Amino acid sequence: MLERWRSAAAPSDGRFPEEWVASVVKARNPGREDEVHEGLTFREDQPDQALRNYIEANPEEALGAAHAAKYGAHPGLLVKLLDAAERLAIQVHPDKPTAEKLFQSAYGKTEAWYFLGGRNIAGEDPYVLCGFKPGMTREKWERLFHAQDIEGMIQSLHKVYPKPGDIMLIRGGIPHAIGPGNWMVEIQEPTDFTIRTERATPSGLALTDQAIHQGLGYERMFDCFHYDTYTEEEMLRLCKLTASVAERGQGWQIKQLISYNDTPYFSMDQLELENGAIGPAWTANGRFAVMIVLGGSGYVHWGDRKKKVEQGDQLFIPAELPAVVFASEDGPLQIVRCLPPALS
C-alpha cells in the first residue's frame, strides 16, 4: 500500500513495512546496526542534511522557543506510515513513568493509529488486537508467554476491525498487535521500546532476546504491561477516538482527530479542501508541525513563497513560520497535521 500510494514503479511488500516521517529518531533493527541513518529523515533541498542536524542547530526556529525550553532540541514526537502485510508481533510499550523507571527515558511510547484504509489479506479484513479481556492476570499472561501459546494470547485480547477514518489511542501499558492489511498514520512518543511476547514473527522469523525484552530480562519485561481488563465496550471507550469538525470555510474544513484532552503526548488534525479551494492560514501557534499529504495535489504557500505538493509528500513546518496556506488543484486535497506534546 505504502509503495503504491507513493506511486512507486513496482510496488511490493517488504520486511520493513514502516516509513518514519520527519524523524530524528534512529531505528533499532537487530542485524542492521551498520545502517547508521536508519529511521532518520533527510531534507529534500539539502539531501545530505539530516533534519536532526537542522533542528539541533536551530532549536528555537525549528521547534519554537517554549518547546525548546521544555523539551530541548528534540521534537518529542514520532510519526510513521505503517503498511502491514503480516500481523505484527503481540507487544506492549511502556507508559511514561515505566519508561522513566525501566529505561531512564523521558518518554514512553503511547501511540495512536489513524486508519487510512487497508486491504483484505487471506480472506480477512484488517484487524487489530488490543486490551486484555476480563480474567487476565500477570501470572496467566506470563504462563502464556512461557508456553508460547500464541493462540491463547490472541484470544486474551479484543479484536477490532477498524474502518478508514477510525482513530485508536493505545496508551503505554496496553497490549496490542496490528493485524495484516492495515494502512495507517501512526503518531507516538519518540521512542522504540517494544516488548514482544512472541519468540518469532507470524511468518517464522526468530526474534532475539533483545527484541523480546529490550534488555529488561524475561521477568521485568512483564512490568511494562498494565493488567487492567476490559469488556469490549470499555476497551472501545478507552481506545477509540471520535473525529469532529473544528473549523469550516469556503470549500474546506479542519477535522480534529486527536486532541490534548485525549492525550498530552501529541495531537492530530486534518485539513480537507475541495477542488479549487484555498484553505485558511493554518497556524500551529508558535509550534512546529509534521504534515503528510494524504491525497490530491496543489500548492502550499508561506510568506511569498510556494511549493507544489502531492499525495505522499511529507513536510516539516518550522515553528518560526506563522502560518501556511494550502490550495488544491485538479481535485480535492487532504493533509494530516501532527503536533508535538502539550506545553502544560
To ligand M6D, the closest distance from the beta carbon of 196 in angstroms equals: 6
**Rounded CA separation 301/72 (Å):** 29
- Residue closer to ligand M6D, measured from CB, 15 or 220: 15
To ligand M6D, the closest distance from the beta carbon of 8 in angstroms equals: 21
- Residue closer to ligand M6D, measured from CB, 80 or 158: 80
What is the secondary structure of 38-77 as a DSSP string? Answer: TT--B-SSSTTSBHHHHHHH-HHHHH-HHHHHHH-SS---
Is residue 219 within a helix (H) or strand (E), and if so which, with residue range?
A: helix 217-220
- Residue closer to ligand M6D, measured from CB, 80 or 213: 80
Closest residue by Cα to residue 16 from 35, 31, 34, 29? 29
- Residue closer to ligand M6D, measured from CB, 55 or 178: 178
**Strand-pair category, 176-178 with 78-83:** unpaired
To ligand M6D, the closest distance from the beta carbon of 110 in angstroms equals: 10
Window 84-103: contact mask with ligand M6D (x via CB under 6 A): ----xx-x------------
User: What DSSP state is assigned to residue 282?
Assistant: B
Residues 24-83 that bind ligand M6D (CB under 6 A): 80
User: What DSSP state is assigned to residue 249?
Assistant: E
Residue showing the smallest CB distance to ligand M6D in the complex: 88
Kindly report the length of the chain.
Answer: 344
Residues 152-191 that bind ligand M6D (CB under 6 A): 178, 186, 188
Q: Are 312 and 89 in contact (CB under 8 A)?
A: no
Using the rule CB under 6 A, which residue among 19, 83, 95, 111 binds ligand M6D? 111
- # residues near ligand M6D by CB under 6 A: 11
Using the rule CB under 6 A, which residue among 194, 229, 259, 297 binds ligand M6D? 194
- Residue closer to ligand M6D, measured from CB, 24 or 178: 178
What is the secondary structure of 103-148 as a DSSP string? Answer: H--S----EEEEEEEE--BTTB---EEEEEPTT--HHHHHHHHHTT
**Rounded CA separation 323/313 (Å):** 18
To ligand M6D, the closest distance from the beta carbon of 338 in angstroms equals: 14
To ligand M6D, the closest distance from the beta carbon of 2 in angstroms equals: 14
- Residue closer to ligand M6D, measured from CB, 241 or 284: 241
- Rounded to the nearest 5 degrees, what angle is found at the Cα of 128, between the Cα atoms of 87 and 228? 120
User: What DSSP state is assigned to residue 46?
Assistant: S
Closest residue by Cα to residue 110 from 220, 1, 260? 260
The answer to the question of residue 19 lying near ligand M6D (CB under 6 A) is no
Residue 174: count other Cβ atoms within 10 Å of its Cβ: 24
**Rounded CA separation 205/193 (Å):** 19
Window 264-303: contact mask with ligand M6D (x via CB under 6 A): ----------------------------------------
To ligand M6D, the closest distance from the beta carbon of 323 in angstroms equals: 30
Q: Are 179 and 127 in contact (CB under 8 A)?
A: yes
Q: Is the dihedral of CA 46, 49, 55, 57 positive or negative?
A: negative
To ligand M6D, the closest distance from the beta carbon of 266 in angstroms equals: 13
To ligand M6D, the closest distance from the beta carbon of 168 in angstroms equals: 11
- Residue closer to ligand M6D, measured from CB, 74 or 255: 74
Residues that bind ligand M6D (CB under 6 A): 18, 80, 88-89, 91, 111, 178, 186, 188, 194, 196
